[in-house]
Structures are given as structure tokens and as C-alpha cells.
Chain A
Amino acid sequence: MYLFVCILFCVLAVTHLLVCVQVCVCVYLAVCLCTTLIVSVPCSSTMVSGAIALAFLPLVLTFIIRYRYYFVLFYRAVLVRMWYDCTTGLSREERAFQYVLTHAIPGDPESILETFDLWCSKVEFISNIGPKKGKIMDRILSEHCPLTVLELGSHCGYSTVRIARALPLGARLYSVEMDAINAAIAEKIIRLAGFDDDTVELIVSPSDEVIPRLRADYGLERLDFVFMDHWKKCYRPDLQALEGSGLLGKGSVVLADNVLFPGAPNFLRHVRKSGLYEWKIHRATLEYSKGIRDGMAELVYQGIK
């Protein structure tokens, strides 16, 4: 029995080499739980035999190793955030803003994006679009050169800065953000990057209220490019609202982020069934994470046939 436990700890030491510390912590906890179970069970004869419980150990290990990236994500996005929320008084976005303010070069969008990436990969986790998917978006933008761009969900302003950086002269970006605090921080970051009101306009309101009023209040005739990165369950209603408002013309591009993880199945179902779009999913990994697969859906509106 003790030999077996020793072997287990050898295995753990090796996983420490392979994977990062956080996973190792989880594995250690799991093993300690198991060993206590085994040690305590022989005393009680009515409980399930300890050997049978030990036979489940390979399953637990498999589970942990196969989904290690999800555990890491959970640790970074939830546990570390809770810890920092308790110790500092600021919210996550305010902490990000503080960091960017102190480490980035004002007026240089490149530097701001890099600082953001640094903070997100090393310190905490915020669900921005990230460098890899950002490159895909830059490529799409440079191919289409849209003049009117709508962004739903700017959160901290990372993707706003990214899009604005790739826009041609004379183009205008309308960014919609529901939460007022986040919108304030996004505003500051956008102005820090050097984009003025001509290029980027921030609209603070929920997306389902804004879209019907875009034509009337903001005088938009047609949207060349729409970027969706807000709540996943709002993707489909917002897309339908855009179709209904007539702001999408033939050749308009809609780019929806995170359609695979966390996933927007209703949105994808609607896209496939409606037949209004030529669609493609760009595969990549989740932002700032190596092993979790994710994708962005690129839709090109074809119009009603």
C-alpha cells in the first residue's frame, strides 16, 4: 500500500515538471483525498472497499490531465480574481487600467495592446480577443477595408483599439458597451491610444436597444463590418435585429468571437439555417491559453436570394 502511494508521488513529481504548478496543486489535493479515504475506510466495514475506490484513481488522473487547461483557466479567471478582489479594493478592469496606465506609452496603440497582453497572460485573465485571434481580425479588416464598423461589447477597449488601429482613413467605429463602469475605462483607454471622437464613438447602452436606433440616431446607412464580443446568448438576437434593421448589405462582414468556447450554439444554428450568409469558422485557441480550442465565426452577408 505504501509502495503504491510512493509511486503516486513519483508520478506527481513528474507532472510538476510537465505542467504548471496550479495543476500540480489540484493533483496533490486529489491524491491526498484518496489516501485519506483509503486509510480511513478499513476501519468502517460498511463503507465501499478502499481498493475499489483506489481503482478509480486512474480515471481521476485521466480527467485531471486531459482537462488541465480548463482547470488552469478556472484558477486564473475565477480564483485569482477573487483573491485580488478581496485584497485590493479595485475591480478587475480598474486593475488592468492601472497597469496599462503605468506601463504603456500613451498615443501608441501597439504599445497599449502589448501591455494588455502582458497583463492578461502574466497577472490575471480578462477575456479580450488576444494576440492570435487579433491577428486574424487584423487580416480580415485589411482585406475588406470597411468604412463603417460596429463593435458590440468593447469591455476594456482592447478590441476597440485593435480595430481602430487597422481602419483606413475616414472610417468610423461605433463601439457599444452595456456596463457604465467598463465603458468609462474603455473610453479612457481609447483616448489614451490617441483615437479621437472622429474615429471612435463609444455608445453606452445595451446592444438590443441601440441597434434599432442606429439608423435614426446616428444616421448609419450600411455597416461594412460588425464585431460581436459581448454576451454569447445575445449573439443571435442581435444578429436578427441587424438583419431586421436593414443595416447589413451584400458583402457586409460579421465577425463573432468565442463561438466554440464558451460557445454560441444558437447563433451558429441560426447562421446555418438562415442561408443568408457565407460562413466560415476560424480555428484558434482561446485567448491567453494554449490548450483550449476556440473559434471565430466570419459571416459574409449575401442578402435574400
Chain B
Amino acid sequence: EEEKVGEEKPEVLSPEELEKLKEEVDERKKLISTLRGKPWPMRKKLLTLRESHEFVEKYEGALGKGKSRKLYAYKVMMLKALMGRPYGSMPRKTVPRADEANAMDFAVLWDFGVITNCLFGYAQYSVLFYGYYNSQRAIGWLKFRMPLSYFLVGVGTVAYSYMVVIRTMARNANEDGGGDNNSFNFSWKMFTSWDYLIGNPETADNKFASITTSFKEAILEEQESRKDDNIHLTRFLRVLANFLVLCCLAGSGYLIYFVVRRSQKFALEGLESHSWWERNEVNMVMSLLGMFCPMLFDVISALENYHPRIALQWQLGRIFALFLGNLYTFIIALMDEINLKREEEEVLKLNMTIWEASLYNGTLGVNSTAPPITVHPADIPRGPCWETMVGQEFVRLIVSDTMTTYITLLIGDFLRAVLVRFLNYCWCWDLEAGFPSYSEFDVSGNVLGLIFNQGMIWMGAFYAPCLPALNVLRLHVSMYLQCWAVMCCNVPQERVFKASGSNNFYMAMLLVILFLSTLPAIYTIVTIPPSFDCGPFSGKSRMFDVIQETLESDFPAWFGKVFSYASNPGLVLPFLLLMVLAIYYLQSTSKSYKQANLELKKKLQTVSRTINKVLTLIQHLLYSLCGTCTDIVCSPESKKKGGEHRAHQGKSNHQIPPSATSPPAPRGHRIPGPLPGNQWQPAPSVQRVPNSQRH
């Protein structure tokens, strides 16, 4: 490696020159980091940035690149050792002859369903899926325990996810603090919202807008808490709305069930005789329903007349139920397919013995020294692999979900914005204010989409190990795409309200999803025997037998004994009972602490109020004293102070200039109008007494 580096850099520098070079490089780096704050025009900044970057890269790389090359080499070596022998060396890792023709067929690859066909092509036999991994116990010179690591990684990711979610929830709960934030709401907002350190007009405008928004939220909350309508009509309408939502959920569940049954029928008949639509029916229907039913729920919830935050929670709960119902219907259908594959496996096992017998038919007896018959790995018949099938289904689901999201974004947001913008000049009604207008950014829907995407990853990660990596890629792309879409095509929601009282609502939902999505995976691990011919657990009767095996062979005997004692039900059950009691105890103590906290706050408020009263009394006394004094001690330096005093007492002789104290042009609540950043000045607020508006 040293020679390689030497080859690249033929010139040799003296120490002084090196020193100077290093100084210059440091200077350039500093320039890059401070470039943003410099008051130069953009073009100059970009040019300087580019030049500096080039300079730094050219002269800094001398040592750095060599180091990174070494590291890379080590990494590759480790990979080789860990991942076992590469493609083509064993039957499991090669494409069977029958599929070889299909796998590289470009017509197949360039079909619109290129991704789905890829899955049935080379990718099936790649690192992406369960079937690639060998069941050999120890691999390479490091004696890497592949099956054990596979199992532990799968279980460990779930445990780690639980820990992270609960830790985040605990942290958020601490920040919340609890307590009574409801007294003197408007007074607090009125007197403490402004930030007196603001010197920039733009910042001042933004601050003004945010304070106005928070006032509006508070007013809305007050209004909602004081409404009292006809209770019976409201209740009836709410029951009706729930009934409609249930109908919709039932309908969607039935539709998915129907479609999955149909796809099983298609699979039995053979997939080639059906169009692309019919092959991908299940995923498309699931994605479409997941996209359109929430909109219907939103419209139905207009019947219920709840406070916006409560309506949002109901909406999220319903979307939750929808996604969960769809997902579980899908999983139940998947179970049927798994059973089918297992039956196929039994049949194949039988055929395998017959085939092997026929191979050795022509050879001589046991004592002969004829060379063993070599069979190309691609010719050995392969057993069906239900785990890979499950992994494939999940990858297909996630890909179709991603595609649906992007296409809906492009059509529903971008295309709509383009049409509204450019057709508005020649359309009879105002497209921006009226019918299509720009789409609103739906915070809750997006968050829920992310949460469910994560749930699907958790579900499928055990059978498609590279799924999280794919998802990270997808999330990166999504982030940039949605960032752009929000800035370019969306307008904020019309109704002003705080979306969540605390952050823990979404984290709690994430926790529930984590639980519900790891449940099927754990069920399959524990109940269904692994395939005999593929995966790291092939040949075992249950997947978790690998732990037993490891305990027996890799650890000393006493460890196994200790473990068997520890996992005795007689020990485990009392331990669980103790944990439950500890949880109950902690819960009750935390409640009492919260109560004590609240009382302390109240006490603090009363004390501060009394102190304030005393202080104002003292001030009044002082001013009345000073008032008599200033007549005597009337010096020019204190005239200003005296003016302030008089203003304070309500007798203001001189007017404070209006420009210093009046707020900027009032911003009304947002009229559905052009996009922000588009030469649009906000309209003043409406339906107030006209005279108060005129400056």
C-alpha cells in the first residue's frame, strides 16, 4: 500500500514547504466554514467555495487517502471471512439452471415491473434474502457462528428498538414536567411572548406571526371548551360516523381478503397467464386503500364536531385500525402460502431421495475407487424456501408502498400545483382560492406513514436481512423529495391548532406498532419449522434450537447447567410477578410525585403574587414621594426619567412616536391564496369594526 501511495505522488516536498502548505490548507478550511456568513454575492461565494474545495482536496489527500485505502482493504478481508464463500461456490448460492435463462432475460428486467421481476431473478439468490445464508455452523478462520449471529441479530434488533422507543418516551415525559398550565393563559402569552433581543425586521415579522398563531390556538381552545350544543344530536352523529367508518374498514378488509384469495388462485394456475395488473393486485390494492381510506375518514369526521386535537386523535386511531387490519389480513394470507410451500417441501424431499438414488445407479459397488460424481451446483434440485418467499412478499409490499407514495406526491401535489398555477390565468373561477387549490401538508398522515413503514420493516427484517438498509436508502430519497415537495407545492393547513399536546403520543403509537409487528415474526420463529434446504437454520426442528446448540457446544458445561436452572418456570414466574409489582409501585409513586409537584407550583404562584403586590405598593409609595421631590429637584438630566414616571402614572405629556410601538401590518389568518414566497402580501384580518383598521 505504501508503494501505491508513493506512485501517485512523485514530487517530494521539503519540511518548510510542507508547513506552509499545511497552513494554507487550514486557512482554506476556515474560509469554507465561515463562507456562509460573509456578505458577498452568491456567485462569488460559490466560486470561492469551489476553488477552496479543490485546493484542499488536492493537497490534503496525500496521507489521508493512503490510510483510507488500508482500512478498505481490511474491511474487504473481514467481509470475506464473515460472509463465507462468495457466489457460485455452493448450491445455495447459485441460480438453478431452469431459472438461469429467466434471470438475465433483459425483456424481463426491463419490464415496468422491473423491481418485482428482479426479485424473482438474481436478487432471490443474493444477500438480500434468507435463502442465501448457509447453515454451516462455523465459517472461515475466525470460526464465525453464522446461524447464531443471524438469530441474535434478528432478536437483538427488536430488543434494541424496544429499548430506544421506551427511553425516548421517558425522556419526553421528563421534559413535559406535568402540572397546571391552564391558569392565566392569555396573560402569560400577552406579556411574556415577545423577545426583546430581536433586532432584525424579518425575525420580528416571523415572531409576530408565531405569536399571532399561538393566540389563535389559545382562543380556539377556549371556544371549544365553552361550547354546549344539543348533546343528543351530537351523540347520534358521532355514533353514525363511527358506524360509517366501521363499514369502510370492513369493506376494505373484505376487499383485501378477496384479492389475496384471487392471487392464490392465480399462483396455482401459473403466473404467466395473467397480466401485470393481476399479478400485482394485492400490493396495489393495499397501497391504494391505505392512501384513499384516510381521506374518507377525514370527510366523515366532519360529522362529529370534535375539538381539532381530539378529531386528529380519532383520525389517527382509525387510520391505525385500517393499516393494522390490512396488514394482518395480508399476514394471514401469507400464512396460507407458507403452508402451501411446506407441503411442496415434503413432496420434494421424497423426490430428492429418488433422484439421488438414480444418480448412483450406474456406479459400481462401495469398494470401487471411481472418482465421485461431480454435479454442477446449478443442477441440484432446490427445495422451496418459504422464508425467502415471505421476505420477497415484504420487499414487494414496501416497494409498492414507496412507489405509491412517490406517485401520489408527484400527481396529487406537484401536478396539481402546476395545473393550478398555470391554468389560473385562463380559467373562469379562481383555482387557487376555490376548487383544486394547492394541497395541504398533512402532518399526521405523513407521521403515520413513517410509523407504519417502520412496522413493516420490523416485520420483514428477519426474513430479508438487507431490508433495513434498503429502507434507509428509501428514507433518504423520501426526505429530499418531500422536503422539495413541501416547499414547492404545499400550503399550510387552514385550521390552526397544535397537533399534539405532547410528543409521546406518536412514540406510544410507535411502541404499539413495534409490538404488533414483531408478533407475527416471533410467532413464525417459534411455531413453524424452518425449510430443510435453505437458510441458516436448515435441518433444525425449530429456529431457536441454534441457541441450545451453542450452549451445548461452545460454552463450558457448568454454564449450560446455570442457564437451565435460570430458565426453569419455577424461577421465571416469580420473577415476572416481581416485575409486575415493581411496575405498579413505580406508577403509584410517580403519581404522588406529580401531585406534590402541582401543589408546589400553586404555592409558588401564590407567593409570587403576594410579593408582586407588596412590590407595587412600595413602587406607588416611592413615586408619590418622588412626585413631590421632582418639583424641587428638577434637573435637565432627570427630565427624561421624569417623563417616564409621568407616563407610568398615566399623565403622558409627549406622545411616544407611533412607529416604535405599533406592530407591523397585521396578518390575518391565511386566505387560501398563492404559495408563500410568491410576492403575496398577507391580507389584513376581517370582519372587525372598520375604523380600527385604519392607521
Contacts and interface: CB of A to CB of B under 8 A. Distances in A.
Interface of A: 1, 3-4, 7-8, 10-11, 14, 18, 45-46, 48-49, 51-52, 54-59, 61-62, 65-67, 70, 140, 143, 260-265, 272, 278-283, 298, 300
Interface in B270-294: 274-275, 277-278, 281, 284-285, 288-289, 292-293
A61 B432 CA distance: 23
B587 to A, nearest CB: 41
B505 interface: no
A280 B255 contact: no
Nearest to A54: B255
Contacts of A57: 292
Nearest to B287: A55
A283 B494 CA distance: 15
A8 B255 CA distance: 13
28 contacts: A4-B251, A10-B247, A45-B278, A51-B255, A51-B258, A52-B281, A52-B285, A54-B255, A55-B284, A55-B289, A58-B252, A59-B295, A62-B295, A62-B299, A65-B300, A67-B435, A262-B428, A262-B430, A263-B430, A263-B432, A265-B430, A265-B432, A272-B681, A278-B693, A278-B694, A280-B684, A298-B690, A300-B694
B296 interface: yes
B424 interface: yes
Contacts of B461: none
B254 interface: yes
B294 to A, nearest CB: 9
Contact of B430 (A45, A59, A261): A261
Given A3-B254, A4-B254, A62-B292, A51 B259 contact: yes
Q: Is the interface of A mostly helix, strand, loop or mixed?
A: helix
B678 to A, nearest CB: 11
B324 interface: no
B686 A51 contact: no
B244 A58 contact: no
Contacts of B424: 265
B687 A283 contact: yes
B244 A11 contact: yes
Interface footprint category on B: 35 or more
Given A62-B296, A62-B299, A49 B254 contact: no
What are the 5 A-B residue pairs with the smallest beta carbon separation, nearest first? A263-B430, A262-B429, A55-B288, A58-B292, A59-B292
Contact of A45 (B258, B275, B671, B693): B275
Contacts of A11: 244, 247
B341 interface: no
B284 A52 contact: yes
Given A262-B429, A283-B687, 8 more contacts: A4-B251, A7-B251, A10-B247, A45-B275, A52-B285, A58-B296, A260-B433, A281-B671
A40 to B, nearest CB: 16
B296 A61 contact: yes
A17 to B, nearest CB: 9
A11 B274 CA distance: 34
Contact of B433 (A65, A67, A70, A261): A261
Contacts of A279: 683-684
Nearest to B689: A143
A11 B303 CA distance: 14
B281 A14 contact: no
B519 interface: no
Interface string B218-229: 000000000000
B289 A58 contact: yes
A70 to B, nearest CB: 7
Contacts of A281: 671, 683, 686
Contact of A282 (B248, B259, B680, B686): B686
